[in-house]
Amino acid sequence: MNAKSPVPRAVLHIDMNAFYCSCHAAAEPKRYAGRPTAVAGSPETRHGVVVTASYEARSRGVRATMTVTQALRTCPELLLIAPDFQLYRRLSKAVFDIVRQYTPDVEVFSIDECWADVTHVPFCGSTSDLAREIQKRLHRELKLPCSIGIAPNKFLAKMASDLHKPQGLTEISLHNLVEVLWPMPVGQMFGVGPKTAERLVRMGISTIGALAAANPEHLSHRLGKRGRQLVELANGRDFAEISSAPEPLKSIGHTITLAKDLSHPEDMATVLMNLADQVGRRVRRHRLVGKTVQLTLRFDSRRTITREQTLPIPTALTEILYDTALSLLHNHLPKAAKVRLLGITLGHLQPEETAILEKHSRTNGTPESIQLSLFSTGSVFEDITGSSQQNFIPSESPLGNALPPPQQRNLDRLRRLSQVTDALRDKYGESIVLRGRMLTQDESQHLREHQTRGTSLQKDILSWPEGGETWPKDGKET
Ligand SMILES: [Mg+2]
């Protein structure tokens, strides 16, 4: 529907309450319903932090991002639950399926939030009656609580759903905006991050009302284009459409925080292989290819660096991701560095088909075999590609001679092999085909366990197990 249409819109923002904990309570009510629970990642390692706490746990002082130890000290009867992302994805899909029974105009914002434009939904009753019905159905059919915001636009609906939790139903209109929204601190406004909030407060703008009254010229001078937009939003003006099409992915990546700092390049290479494997799998599942490989390194000092390399040809092949990440590691790993976190991201993604077309129009008749990298994976590919001659790694490199010699890669063969192994793994599970380097004692091999994976990421990544589509919050998955 037209953004500037004179018909006032009716927009719902549906936000599931303590979603991960609620999913466990729904799946095993005898064990978890009505009890203080917390979903926490790997309690035995240092990223054992609370990801979500149930409302019963929150009322006893447990908060997200607390360490497991802190949480148990605060609430000794707390029940800790290991994450089950398959369960969350399944229930998330069930939630959105119910909402879509009312309108096709549903915009998924994260695994547990969506907007729905219900302007034209035939329903006898008010918009809040409709919202109440959806809320009741989600509770009755899925045993999941949610808060719903009702408003004439996305921004106000989002603000409204946040006001009463759990199981709230809150309406913000252009009439009650002044009493409801304007007294709130500017830092609580959707779209205002902590840094912007700090700047606004320093400018004397500490409430949403003060922002609404601010001079847009003055503010855009200080904050750029965003300044003017924020004044508009604070006045309740938001013409953004509900877009049911998922945003195209710009990048796909994985990072992993290690339980023990790594100082041996050989061990880092093993982690990189597992990261490259899962990034490659996901990129291929989306039928995408990417042009830039980014390596993220965090050291024991907590200093974090990212280093990037652009590929001659966009790819989704694990071997090339691995080789490139390894070469970045080789070039940028300081001597005697201890590494706490490693990550690989493939960026500048584009659909596989467009990349193939581009390649054909650009390089007619290029030989198939391309020297892509200085390093080999020392993997199952040696027997099909043959090994070769020379070691390019300078002896003063921190990687030393830990890595096998370079070789020619036949792209087409790699691609065909990827298709076969992907098909096998889709059918029989991730571990049915593994490269030798992937079998390790460190936690990077858990990247293949999709059920628990995600806790080290601390992000809500929405990825349907059956279809493989992904809707990250901002077009970027990490
Ligand atoms: Mg929520």
Task: Note the pLDDT tens digit of each residue in 73-91.
Answer: 999 999 999 888 889 989 9
Contact call for residues 15 and 146 (beta carbons, < 8 A): yes
Determine phi and psi for 295, rounding to 5 degrees: -105, 130
> Looking at residue 351, what is its pLDDT?
84
Nearest to 239 by CA among 173, 158, 180, 155: 155
Euclidean distance between CA atoms 40 and 200, whole angstroms: 35
> Looking at residue 142, what is its pLDDT?
97
Cα(15) to ligand 1 centroid in Å equals 5
DSSP H or E segment with residue 413: helix 411-428
Which tokens go with 472?
A: 């990250």
pTM, whole model, 2 decimals? 0.64
| Percentage of the residues of the chain whose pLDDT score is greater than 90 | 54
Confidence of residue 361 (pLDDT cuts 50, 70, 90): low
Confidence of residue 45 (pLDDT cuts 50, 70, 90): low
CATH 3.40.50.1820 given to domain 1-174: no
Confidence of residue 44 (pLDDT cuts 50, 70, 90): low
> Which of 183-197, 305-319, 452-466 shows the lowest mean pLDDT across its residues?
452-466
**Number of neighbouring beta carbons within 10 Å of residue 352:** 17
Cα(88) to ligand 1 centroid in Å equals 12
Please give the biggest Cα pair distance in the chain. 77
Q: Is the dihedral of CA 346, 351, 113, 30 positive or negative?
A: negative
Cα(276) to ligand 1 centroid in Å equals 31
The answer, yes or no, to whether residue 372 has pLDDT greater than 70, is no
Residue 325 DSSP SS3: helix
More confident residue, 341 or 465: 341
Mean pLDDT of 50-56: 93
List, by residue range, all CATH 1.10.150.20 domains of the chain.
Answer: 182-235
Amino acid (1-letter code) at residue 397: S
More confident residue, 97 or 425: 97
At the fourth CATH level, the homologous superfamily of domain 182-235 is 5' to 3' exonuclease, C-terminal subdomain (1.10.150.20)
Cα(18) to ligand 1 centroid in Å equals 6
Cα(103) to ligand 1 centroid in Å equals 21
Residue 132 DSSP SS3: helix
Confidence of residue 406 (pLDDT cuts 50, 70, 90): very low
> Looking at residue 357, what is its pLDDT?
59
Which tokens go with 297?
A: 């390194």
- Catalytic residue set: 113
CATH code assigned to 251-448: 3.30.1490.100
> Looking at residue 77, what is its pLDDT?
96
Mean pLDDT of 291-297: 94
Euclidean distance between CA atoms 313 and 423, whole angstroms: 24
For residue 59, give every residue at least 6 positions away whose Cβ sits within 8 Å of its Cβ, in sequence order, or none.
Answer: 36
Confidence of residue 391 (pLDDT cuts 50, 70, 90): very low
Confidence of residue 379 (pLDDT cuts 50, 70, 90): very low
List, by residue range, all CATH 3.30.70.270 domains of the chain.
Answer: 1-174
Amino acid (1-letter code) at residue 476: K
More confident residue, 270 or 411: 270
More confident residue, 45 or 456: 45
Euclidean distance between CA atoms 268 and 275, whole angstroms: 10
> Looking at residue 383, what is its pLDDT?
28
Contact call for residues 275 and 281 (beta carbons, < 8 A): no
Euclidean distance between CA atoms 454 and 254, whole angstroms: 9
For residue 248, give every residue at least 6 positions away whose Cβ sits within 8 Å of its Cβ, in sequence order, or none.
Answer: 349, 475
Distances (CA, A) of 431 to 42, 421, 439, 447, 452: 21, 10, 9, 11, 15
Q: Look over the chain and give the mean of its residue pLDDT values, rounded to a whole number.
A: 80
How does pLDDT run across 115-140, given as a tens digit for each residue?
999 999 888 889 999 999 999 999 99
Contact call for residues 380 and 434 (beta carbons, < 8 A): no
The answer, yes or no, to whether residue 157 has pLDDT greater than 80, is yes
SS3 content of the chain, % helix, strand, coil (to 5): 40, 20, 40
Cα(165) to ligand 1 centroid in Å equals 9
More confident residue, 110 or 203: 203
Nearest to 294 by CA among 310, 312, 307: 307
Mean pLDDT of 449-461: 44
